[in-house]
Structure 1
Amino acid sequence: MEIIPLKFPDGDNIIFGQTHFIKSVEDIHEAMVNCNANAKFGLAFSEASGAKLVRTSGTDDELIDIAAENIFKLGCGHSFLIIIRDSFPINYLPRIKDLPEVLNIYCATANPVQVIVARTELGGAVLGVVDGEPPVAIEDDAGKKWRYEFLRKIGYKF
């Protein structure tokens, strides 16, 4: 078993999941730009048979390269990673989860992520993810006020 950190720039978000078909690369790309025509993202998909390449797409070359490097390092067939800049996964997740070839979303976050990977003679398998750090306290009234104000500040509540 290995623990592999995903590496992406501070402030960027990711969507990390599993899909089952090479068509996913184009379908995920189309889903992203259909949700936000100005989306800045990089996408990488680990092909599990045939040429067994890391297939890529996106609208930002830097983010495409970062996604590809992460997926290549993971070495887990049919996994995909989207690195997103200047928007949030919540804007894209419903559409991506609705794609017929998408099987699973492991996480959608801006937090540090570690991927727990098992290796066999066939390849790598994602067993799970560690998304961020553990809580240090239980929310109090000040925390509730902060949450309320924060969601309105970033435009997700009115």
Structure 2
Amino acid sequence: MELLTVPIEKPDDVNLVLGQSHFIKTVEDVYEALAGTSPHLRFGLAFCESSGPCLVRRSGNADDLVGLAVQNALAVGAGHSFIVFLREGFPVNVLNALKQVPEVCRIYCATANSVEVVIAETGQGRAILGVVDGSSPKGVETEDDVSARKALLRQLGYKS
């Protein structure tokens, strides 16, 4: 077995969701879940089929994001993994819908940060062991940081 990391390549203005599911129906059901969250959401998704023809299945409503999803799905190469790239929406807007998709088993991360996927590779294939999402903490928030965090959430409309 070999351990390796695969960096996710994406523009800074794009968010991603990386997960695992269990059936080819994932592509259509995830598409429907995402499309139903907002008419403004732009997305691309790719799913790594792990039996039969073992193809990367793809869909979305933004060709550039579909291409980005395919590129990164091929790089990760873990069976039954899927990756979604988002614009004009955020993971917080789609996570509940994604978690309700019957084929979705796990969400590894949902972020705009830089991501490295930790992979185990065996003679059979690849598995996602986890992710490195962004950077390690540099300290503990101060009272000023607490106030700024609360103000930002209210400014964005997530809290009243």
For Structure 1 versus Structure 2, the TM-score category normalised by the shorter chain is: over 0.9
The answer to whether the 8 Å contact 2:20/2:106 transfers is: yes
How far is the alpha carbon of 1:38 from its aligned partner? 2.1
**In 1, Cα distance between equivalents of 2:114 and 2:48:** 21
The count of corresponding residues between Structure 1 and Structure 2 is 158
1:49 — aligned with what?
A: 51
**In 1, Cα distance between equivalents of 2:144 and 2:9:** 33
RMSD: 0.8
Helix, strand or coil at the partner of 1:87 = coil
Please list, as runs of the form range in 1=range in 2, the aligned pairs for 1:7-156 lying within 5 A after superposition.
7-156=9-158
Q: TM-score, normalised by structure 2?
A: 0.96
Letter of the 1:90 partner, please give it: V
**In 2, Cα distance between equivalents of 1:76 and 1:87:** 26
How far is the alpha carbon of 1:54 from its aligned partner? 0.6
The list of structure 1 runs, each at least 4 consecutive aligned residues, that deviate by more than 6 angstroms after superposition, is none
User: Which blocks of at least 5 consecutive residues in structure 1 are unaligned?
Assistant: none
User: Which blocks of at least 5 consecutive residues in structure 2 are unaligned?
Assistant: none
Percent identity, aligned pairs only?
Answer: 46
**In 2, Cα distance between equivalents of 1:155 and 1:29:** 26
Letter of the 1:73 partner, please give it: A
How far is the alpha carbon of 1:95 from its aligned partner? 1.1
Letter of the 1:64 partner, please give it: V
The superposition leaves residues 49-82 of structure 1 with CA deviations (integer Å, 9 ceiling, x where unpaired) of 1111111001100000001000011110100000
**In 1, Cα distance between equivalents of 2:10 and 2:157:** 24
The superposition leaves residues 35-55 of structure 1 with CA deviations (integer Å, 9 ceiling, x where unpaired) of 112210010000101111111
**In 1, Cα distance between equivalents of 2:90 and 2:134:** 16
